Structures are given as C-alpha cells and as structure tokens.
Amino acid sequence: MDIVYISELKVDTVIGIFDWERAHRQVVILNVELGTDIRAAAEHDDISKTLNYKAVTEALFGFVRDSEFQLIETLAERCAALIMVEFNVPWLRLSITKPGAMRQAKDVGVVIERGTPLSPIPGSRLGNANG
Ligand SMILES: Nc1nc2c(c(=O)[nH]1)N=C([C@H](O)[C@@H](O)CO)CN2
C-alpha cells in the first residue's frame, strides 16, 4: 500500500467543552495518512489517477474551520468519514492535536486508524512472504 499524506494542517476552529472554548477559536493541527496505490498516476504522470492532496487539504480545512464540536474525538471521526466517503479512501490514519490546551504539555490529541489497508504491493520491501 502506498500513502499520500498531509502534515501539520493548521486550522482555527471552535472546539472544547468549556465555556471559554465556545467563545474563542483555537488552533488544531491535523496529520493524515491516506492509503492508496500511486502506480497508475506515476506510470501516466496524471493527477486524475491519484489522490489529489490539494483537494483533500481544502475539503478538510473548510470542514474543520466551520465545525463546532466539543471533543477532538468527534472531530477526528467526522474528518475520517468525510475523507473516506468523498475521496473513496479505503484506509487512513489521522491525528488531531490541540497545542497549548494543557499548560503542562506541548500538545494533546487523538490518533485514529479507520478502514482496511490495501494489500501489500507484491515484491515491495514492505510486503510479507505471501506478497
Ligand atoms: N479525550 C479528550 N479529553 C479532553 C478533551 C477532548 O476533546 N478529548 N477536551 C478537553 C477540553 O476541551 C480541553 O481541551 C481544555 O483544556 C479536556 N479533555
């Protein structure tokens, strides 16, 4: 399986369980790894045959900016569902962090994996004995 990824996407949004958090937007940072197979795109050098990270980034950014969830868990699940449905992604790993939410920590957050990974590419270094 190949991966297209987006690293440290920063978005201002309404998130949190406390009154002050409903009144002041905060930064959340997203990292996403999207399972895919890049071979057709590479063979034809054709953007239409791959997962366009610009399109995914813009969809995620707009969704998170306009959302108003209490929990980062809810935000993570909804982002995962959006990506899997709108972009036909079979597997993803997604993290959301809230930098500065805890004075004592650099950041706090959640990491989720959803869906089923594509089969290993036969002959790849990451494949197992059965390909
Ligand atoms: N597992 C979680 N724990 C907490 C969350 C959360 O979204 N998921 N949120 C908060 C508050 O909103 C916090 O960010 C304020 O400091 C606390 N714990």
pLDDT reported for residue 56: 98
Active-site annotation, residues = 98
| Integer Cα distance of 131 and 70 in angstroms | 43
Distance (Å) from CA 85 to ligand 1 centroid: 27
Distance (Å) from CA 63 to ligand 1 centroid: 20
ipTM value: 0.96
Where does the chain show beta strands of DSSP type E? 2-13, 26-36, 91-99, 107-115
In contact, 81 and 67? CB cutoff 8 Å: no
The CATH architecture to which 2-115 belongs is 2-Layer Sandwich (3.30)
Which of 13, 15, 17 is the best mutation target for the ligand 1 pocket, counting ligand atoms within 8 Å of the beta carbon and taking the most? 17
pLDDT reported for residue 130: 46
Task: With CA atoms as reference, report the closest residue to 74 among 14, 27, 116, 7.
Answer: 14
The label of the residue with tokens 């036909």 reads 88
Task: With CA atoms as reference, report the closest residue to 31 among 90, 87, 100, 113.
Answer: 113
Q: Which pTM value belongs to this model?
A: 0.91
Neighbours of 13 (CB within 10 A): 18
Predicted confidence (pLDDT) at residue 78 exceeds the cutoff of 80: yes
Predicted confidence (pLDDT) at residue 67 exceeds the cutoff of 80: yes
